[in-house]
Amino acid sequence: MIVPGVGVDAAAVAVPLERLPADQVLSGSPSAGFVELTDTIGVWEHTRGTSTDVEADEVFVVLAGSATLSFSDSSLAPVALSPGSVVRLTAGMQTVWTVHETLRKIYVAG
């Protein structure tokens, strides 16, 4: 947890990774994990590979890596992610994360 008035280097936070469940993996052997900095802010990481997810309400900023984020809603275009990308997701969005280089983001949920 982050302490008020104390900074945290989100690029250097150790994020414990676990292999994703087989039913979420479309290609490769991706792992993912997160560290909560507060109740609504955290750091998330996903290694190379492709996986599916169902999202919560959040805004995130990519800190490192590259990926393509696609949506089951065909009216939404895929988003190329790289450091500095900012994306808003809403609860229930069905996504496909194609991670080309280990992706790290900081997110604000809620």
Domain residue spans of the chain: 25-109
Query: What single DSSP character describes residue 24?
Result: G
Identify the H or E element spanning 32: strand 31-36
**Whether the predicted pLDDT of 2 surpasses 90:** no
> What is the biggest distance separating any 2 CA atoms in the chain, rounded to whole angstroms?
43
Query: Which CATH number is 25-109's, of 3.40.50.300, 2.60.120.10, 2.60.40.10, 3.30.70.790?
Result: 2.60.120.10
Average pLDDT of the chain, as a whole number: 96
- In this prediction, residue 3 carries a pLDDT of 83
Residues of the chain with pLDDT > 90, as a percent, come to 92
**Whether the predicted pLDDT of 1 surpasses 80:** no
109's CB contacts (< 8 A; 6+ apart) are 40, 41, 42, 56, 57, 58
pTM of the model: 0.94
- In this prediction, residue 47 carries a pLDDT of 98
Task: Round to whole Å and give the CA distance between 64 and 79.
Answer: 15
Please write the tens of the pLDDT for every residue from 40-79.
Answer: 999 999 999 999 999 999 999 999 999 999 999 999 999 9
The position carrying tokens 């802010």 is 41
Backbone angles phi and psi of 22, in degrees to 5: -55, -35
Residue 60 Cα to chain centre, angstroms = 8
Tokens of residue 63, six digits = 């800190």
